[in-house]
């Protein structure tokens, strides 16, 4: 089954617009976002989000019902859809600049973790009664808490901790924050490089590329088929990887004025300042999105697009079919291109 997406704008063509990898880039944004999950893709629109996961084929299962995730599932595609009422619609105060970014990101994390849970359960072997097994709620909550704690510790606490060990050798607070940010970005880049080398995550990165290609194909008004989607770039201006790099840069301007207080205030400021940094970074990405076809904006987005070379891989047609199935489930319920500006709020960092 294929779906023809509404044309994003009359006379607009991506044929002469390409991203750093040389592949096509859609000329306009649509309020559609997504995320790669285990053997699948999550897609979200304005009022719906869906998860499409490819199940393992019968001949891939061992006697205990398990299979090697590195081989890639070859079974049928399972699609689940859920209604979505954005928190941004509940009160106008939540739509204020900076605040809306924090709300949108928390909401995206909630949906993303739910989608990961669904995809993880889809890969589990059936139970003794033949029914599908599921991860326990406690186990999944524990996984989320550990993941969030690790991210805060690795990217916020560790850099300021290392810099504090030689704080006395630095001439002033500005240099302190510059050194701290240099350490933070180095840790971030090293982390991305290391996980990009993990064989177990390679297929997740391929599905990440499939998600980007499918969204770009839809944004450009093309028929949603694996062949059409393959022509588009696996890089996307609204990707969360680019957003994380912007977070690293914005953090400098937020924390520099605080000076170099005692270590416990330094640690507390880095944790408590995360919402402000994230909200400001959201506004920067939103601004880039509005000017994505301008030369200066594309130049500023270039480093973030390069980072996506680490977190995406070229997908195969079967993976693109999964991403398309997820997006089709959203389009079966709504037409994102007809959404109002108010409905589009929060979708600036979603690809």
Q: Is residue 327 part of a domain?
A: yes
Counting every residue, how long is the chain?
351
Q: In which residue are the tokens 């999944």 written?
A: 140
Q: Is residue 223 part of a domain?
A: yes
CB atoms within 10 A of CB 61: 14
Q: Is residue 26 part of a domain?
A: no
CB atoms within 10 A of CB 202: 14
Domain extent for 94? 31-344
Q: Is residue 10 part of a domain?
A: no
pLDDT of amino acid 128: 60
- For residue 46, the Cα-to-chain-centroid distance in whole angstroms is 17
Please give the chain's pLDDT, 351 residues, in tens.
Answer: 444 444 444 334 445 567 777 788 787 788 899 999 999 999 999 999 999 999 988 888 776 667 777 778 888 999 999 999 888 888 888 888 999 989 988 999 899 999 999 998 888 776 665 566 666 667 778 888 898 899 999 998 999 999 999 998 999 888 999 999 999 999 999 999 999 888 889 999 999 999 999 999 999 999 999 999 999 999 998 888 888 889 988 998 999 888 888 888 989 999 999 999 999 998 888 888 777 778 888 888 889 899 999 999 999 999 999 999 999 999 999 998 888 777 776 666 666
Q: Is residue 21 part of a domain?
A: no
pLDDT of amino acid 203: 93
Q: How far apart are CA 247 and CA 29, in angstroms?
A: 22
Count of structural domains within the chain: 1
Q: Is residue 269 part of a domain?
A: yes
DSSP E strand stretches across 76-191: 77-83
Q: Does pTM surpass 0.75?
A: yes
pLDDT of amino acid 40: 97
Q: How far apart are CA 147 and CA 128, in angstroms?
A: 31
First to last CA, the chain: 23
Q: Is residue 4 part of a domain?
A: no
Q: Is residue 228 part of a domain?
A: yes
Radius of gyration of the chain (CA): 21
CB burial of 265-299 (b: ≥16 within 10 Å; e: otherwise) equals: ebeebbeeebbbbbbbbbbbbbebbeebeeeebbe
pLDDT of amino acid 349: 61
Do 205 and 36 form a contact (C-beta atoms < 8 A)? yes
Do 345 and 95 form a contact (C-beta atoms < 8 A)? yes
Q: How far apart are CA 242 and CA 308, in angstroms?
A: 7
What are the tokens at 203?
């297929």
């Amino acid at each position: 089954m294929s779906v023809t997406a509404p044309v994003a704008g009359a006379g607009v063509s991506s044929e002469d617009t390409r991203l750093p990898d040389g592949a096509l880039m859609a000329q306009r944004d649509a309020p559609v976002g997504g995320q790669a999950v285990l053997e699948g893709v999550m897609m979200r629109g304005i009022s719906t989000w869906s998860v499409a996961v490819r199940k393992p084929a019968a001949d891939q299962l061992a006697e205990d019902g398990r299979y090697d995730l590195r081989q890639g599932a070859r079974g049928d595609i399972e699609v689940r859809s859920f209604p979505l009422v954005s928190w941004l619609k509940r009160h106008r105060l939540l739509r204020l600049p900076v605040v809306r970014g924090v709300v949108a990101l928390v909401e995206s994390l909630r949906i993303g973790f739910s989608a990961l849970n669904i995809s993880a359960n889809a890969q589990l072997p059936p139970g003794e009664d033949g029914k599908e097994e599921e991860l326990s709620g406690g186990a999944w909550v524990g996984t989320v808490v550990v993941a969030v704690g690790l991210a805060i510790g690795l990217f916020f606490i560790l850099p300021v901790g290392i810099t504090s060990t030689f704080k006395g050798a630095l001439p002033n607070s500005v240099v302190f924050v510059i050194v701290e940010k240099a350490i933070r970005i180095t840790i971030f880049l090293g982390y991305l490089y290391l996980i990009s080398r993990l064989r177990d995550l390679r297929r997740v990165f391929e599905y990440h590329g499939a998600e980007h290609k499918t969204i770009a194909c839809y944004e450009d008004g093309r028929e949603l088929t694996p062949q059409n989607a393959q022509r588009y770039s696996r890089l996307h201006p609204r990707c969360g990887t680019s957003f994380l790099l912007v977070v690293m840069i914005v953090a400098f301007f937020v924390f520099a004025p605080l000076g170099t207080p005692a270590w416990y205030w330094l640690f507390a400021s880095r944790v408590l300042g995360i919402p402000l940094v994230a909200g400001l970074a959201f506004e920067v990405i939103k601004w880039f999105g509005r000017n994505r076809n301008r030369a200066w904006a594309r130049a500023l987005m270039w480093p973030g697009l390069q980072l996506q070379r680490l977190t995406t891989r070229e997908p195969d047609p079967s993976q693109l079919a999964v991403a398309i199935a997820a997006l089709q489930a959203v389009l079966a319920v709504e037409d994102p291109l007809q959404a109002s500006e108010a409905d589009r709020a929060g979708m600036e960092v979603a690809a």
